[in-house]
Amino acid sequence: VLQHMFMSECDFINGTEKVRLVDRFIYNRQMWAMFDSDAGHYVGFTPMGRGRAKAWNSNPVIMENKRTSVDWLCRRNYRIVAPFSVERRGERGA
């Protein structure tokens, strides 16, 4: 069985004051590429991933979209996500 997976995660630190977006590309349990908004570019971890990351990093449309995604994806959805993640960190099950 072959598995191709994409994971996207928004990390909120101090509300929306510091937000980080991480996109991970995984094939057969191996991460082959990643975008980290703190770094501001794609990183490849396999030969295929390095080639794709280089192509994505050289495309100004893709990079502008990714660099602004912290605002239009993470910060925009903070109100929806916060009650389920941020505000429940201190709670413990009974």
> pLDDT tens across 20-72, in order?
999 999 999 999 999 999 999 999 999 999 999 999 999 999 999 998 998 88
The closest alpha carbon to 29, from 43, 40, 45, belongs to: 45
Q: For the range 42-49, what are the long-range contacts, defined as Cβ-Cβ under 8 Å and sequence gap of 24 or more?
A: 42/66, 49/25
pLDDT of residue 93: 52
CA 35 to chain centre: 6
In a domain, residue 66? The reply is: yes
Strands 41-44 and 4-13: unpaired
pLDDT of residue 83: 64
In a domain, residue 52? The reply is: yes
Give pLDDT tens digits for 75-87.
877 777 666 665 5
Domain with 68 in it: what CATH number? 3.10.320.10
Against a cut of 0.85, is the pTM above it?
no
Strands 4-13 and 18-27: antiparallel
Count of structural domains, the chain: 1
In a domain, residue 93? The reply is: no
Q: Where are the beta strands (DSSP E) in 1-94?
A: 4-13, 18-27, 30-36, 41-44
